[in-house]
Amino acid sequence: MADTTLIAENDILARFPEGVSQDERKGYQGYIVAADRLVEFATALRDEFGYDYLSSVTGVDYLPEGKMEVVYHAYKSTGGGALVFKVQVPREDAVVPSLVGVYKGADFQEREAWDLLGIRFEGHPNLKRILMWEGFAGHPLRKDWKEAYFEEEKKPFDSRWPGGDVYRAEDKNPFGKNVVYPEKFDPEKWTPVGEEGFYGGLRGFDAGDGDEDLKTEQVVVNLGPQHPSTHGVFRMVVSLEGETVVRLEPVMGYLHRNHEKIGERNTYLMNIPFTDRLDYLASMSNNWGYVQAVEKLLGDKAKVPERAEYLRVIMAEFTRIVNHVFAIGTLLNDLGAFFTPMLYALEERELILDIFEAVAGSRMMCNYFRFGGVARDLPPGVYEKMRDLVFERLPRKIDELDRYLTENEIVRARCEGVGVLTPEEAIAYSAAGPVLRASGVPYDVRRADPYGIYDRFDFDVAVRYHGDVYDRYLVRLDEIRQSIRILQQALDDLPEGEIISGKPKYSIRVPAGEAYGRVEGPKGELGFYIVSDGSANPWRYHVRAPSFINLTALGKMCEGDKVADAIIILGSIDIVLGETDR
């Protein structure tokens, strides 16, 4: 972790007189690092400058310039703004050294960039596809890649108006003809052979392995993709030694829909309802992360009025409560306490969703935030309802949930000391949100790098120190209490006034440049990286999904624990597949 002898950020260019330069494109920031100096640079950044937390790794395809760029956002785990650095390589031969050796949290993100953009990370221990399947042809986020239902480069599509002769996309592109296979690949003939065929690609898997003298044999078990514990379509491949997990690897992508490609075809406004579908339990926070990034690009044009700032905080904190009661409920389900705790938790969620429905029009797909404000003011009666909940009911009910579960001996026996992640590991693996804070790192974007008006509220960053499943549960409980505190202040101070700046426009142009907006979503740091080329559609739209990146540490957490514990460890990370797979 950070110590006192760190070098200041301004000295970066002095420290690296060669191979590192300022990114001088208009609207861009940070440094451009030569590919061969990258590992050295990142190591120095971590050890000498204190940027020990790598938040986001992604690529951008600059097709017209023939370049592929990898963008890194690093932070200090003690708080503060981002340090952005980039590597540029030729598009056709995109090879970048892997940073997994420096930041373990780069693992899945680099695999994603390989999968979707075709950037090869040299030295990556396990570079293979992560969201698409192995038999998939091409790298879909490349700008010259066209998907099966391809109609046009950008929305709105010309065919819709004025000569809108309707047809169904499936009719033009029937099922079965909408897939391209790699050359020499015949899906009819392809069958995986034996265990090797199924698991051969998995890291360290060794079919028929086992110590001859001890006569032990490792068994590979698939949990999922259809499994009640995985909260969706998600697979864990576990190598077992008896009941003990030796290795665990998450396999995902079953719900992948190339959200980012869709986002790059959409106009800026269209993306807001699409973000609802990421983490569908927390659509308000998703909205916020996205509009924040775009507002950064828009600058003063999108200044958020006071009332809207408060409404944003109120909605985001309600969302956190919704998410955490749900997470606690499902954790208990995973523990085998079927549905009674879950339903008690859901009751509070329902009451909050009633509010969302009354204000935003939908219980889950809220689509409530707009650039420079929010979509709608509170209808009559809703404010009172919120007050009743926040001042009267929720505190009482959360205490009840606490009384109900926290001291339960079975819960404690199952959860304490299970799935431990040390603070150093949590930072190295880029874990975020409750997972990070339960490991004793008091890092919360609302405090570390405040956005909106969070600097005005009095609240504590919830933190626990054992890094186990039980502490992750407790952190969520603490956070609900803190959210109630914030809500009480926000409702007391809610000013009258405008809810959006300027007249809402259906098509906006965004000044060219890049921006990274991040919020403390209920599941952790939710970031949106946006590159604008000045047109009505984003050139690059990337989501830093906490559900996805938190899974990087899953294997580590499960090693040495029992297979039954793997289920609750997964439950304690609290993933939503809509966001993991995007």
Partner 1 sequence: MYGKGILKGLGVTLKHFIDTYVDDIRMGKSRYGTEKGIAYRSSKDARGIFTVQYPEEKLPTPEEFRFIPFLVYDEGEDGEREIRCTSCGICAKVCPPQCIWIHRSKDPETGRPVPEPAEFFIDVDVCMNCGLCAEFCPFDAIIMDHDYELAVYDRHANNIYDKEKLLKPAEYYKDIRPRNYALQEAARAEKAAKKSAAKARRGKA
Give the C-alpha distances (Å, rounded to integers) separating 319 from 142, 280, 291.
Answer: 34, 11, 16
For residues 358 and 564, which CB has a smaller minimum distance to partner 1 in the complex?
Answer: 358
Q: Any contact of residue 347 with partner 1 (CB under 8 A)? A: yes
Note every long-range contact of 15-20, with CB atoms under 8 Å and residues 24 or more positions apart, other chains counting. 15/44, 15/48, 16/41, 16/44, 20/85
Q: Which is nearer to partner 1, 7 or 382 (CB)?
A: 382
- Cα(528)–Cα(541) distance, rounded to whole angstroms? 7
* Interaction of residue 350 with partner 1, rule CB under 8 A: yes
What the block records as the tokens of 529 is 């990286």
Query: Which region, judged by CB under 8 A, interacts with partner 1, from 107-115, 214-222, 405-413, 444-452?
Result: 405-413
Q: Which of 48, 306, 354, 559 binds partner 1 (CB under 8 A)?
A: 354
The contact mask relative to partner 1 for 357-396 (x = CB under 8 A, - = no) is: xxxxxx--x-x-------xx--xx----x--xx--xx---
- Smallest gap from Cβ 96 to partner 1, in A, equals 34
Taking CB under 8 A as the binding criterion, the range among 24-32, 62-70, 192-200, 262-270 that sits at the site for partner 1 is 262-270
Please tell me whether residue 405 binds partner 1 under the rule CB under 8 A: yes
Q: How far apart are CA 100 and CA 255, in angstroms?
A: 26
Q: Does 257 participate in binding partner 1 (rule CB under 8 A)?
A: no
Instruction: Report the residue number, 95 or 343, with the smaller CB distance to partner 1.
Output: 343
> How far does the chain reach from its first CA to its final CA, in angstroms?
32
Distances (CA, A) of 295 to 149, 370, 377, 535: 31, 10, 20, 15
- Region near partner 1 per CB under 8 A, out of 60-68, 90-98, 156-164, 203-211: 156-164
Rounded Cα distance, 28 and 31, in Å:
9
**Which of residues 181 and 339 has its CB atom nearest to partner 1 in the complex?**
339
Contact between residue 95 and residue 239 where contact means Cβ atoms under 8 Å apart: no
The first and second tokens of residue 556, run together, are 């580590």
Question: Cβ of residue 140: shortest distance to partner 1, in angstroms?
Answer: 18
Is the CB of 145 or the CB of 268 nearer to partner 1? 268
Shortest separation between residue 205's beta carbon and partner 1, angstroms = 40
Q: Which of 166, 208, 300, 458 binds partner 1 (CB under 8 A)?
A: 166
Binding-site size for partner 1 (CB under 8 A) equals 57
Q: Does 153 bind partner 1 (CB under 8 A)?
A: no
How far is residue 460 from each of residues 172, 412, 523, measured CA to CA in Å?
A: 56, 25, 17
What lies within 8 Å, CB to CB, of 134 at 6+ separation is 128, 201
For residues 363 and 365, give the distance between their C-alpha atoms in angstroms, rounded to a whole number.
Answer: 6
For partner 1, give the closer residue by CB, 379 or 495. Answer: 379
Strand order in the sheet with 20-22: 20-22, 31-33, 83-90, 67-75, 53-62
CB of 208 to partner 1, least distance (A): 45
**How far apart are CB 363 and partner 1 at their closest, in Å?**
9
Judged by CB under 8 A, which of 274, 288, 529, 539 binds partner 1?
A: 274
* Closest distance of CB 436 from partner 1, Å: 27
- 340 part of the interface to partner 1, by CB under 8 A: yes
Should residue 351 be labelled a site residue for partner 1 when binding is judged by CB under 8 A?
yes
Please report how close the Cβ of residue 147 comes to partner 1 at its closest, in angstroms: 14
By the rule CB under 8 A, 161 interacts with partner 1: yes
Binding partner 1 (rule: CB under 8 A), the pick from 36, 400, 416, 492 is: 400
E strand or H helix that includes residue 99: none
Does the protein bind partner 1 through residue 159 (CB under 8 A)? yes
Give the count of beta carbons closer than 10 Å to the beta carbon of residue 456. 14
- Contacts with partner 1 in 455-514 (CB under 8 A)? 504, 506-507
Dihedral sign, CA of 523, 554, 426, 114? negative
CA gap 580, 157 in Å, rounded: 29
SS3 40: helix
Choose which of 406, 416, 465, 560 interacts with partner 1 (CB under 8 A). Answer: 406
Under rule CB under 8 A, residue 326 binds partner 1: no
Strand partners, 540: 531
Within 7-26, the residues that bind partner 1 by CB under 8 A are none
Nearest to 536, CA basis, from 294, 267, 298: 267
Beta strand pairing call for 20-22 and 67-75: unpaired
Among 26, 168, 177, 215, binds partner 1 (CB under 8 A): 168
Q: Which of 106, 107, 105, 132 is nearest to 118 (CA)?
A: 132
Q: Which residues make up the interface to partner 1 (CB under 8 A)?
A: 155-157, 159-166, 168, 266-267, 269-271, 273-274, 277, 340, 344, 347, 350-351, 354, 357-362, 365, 367, 375-376, 379-380, 385, 388-389, 392-393, 400, 403-412, 504, 506-507
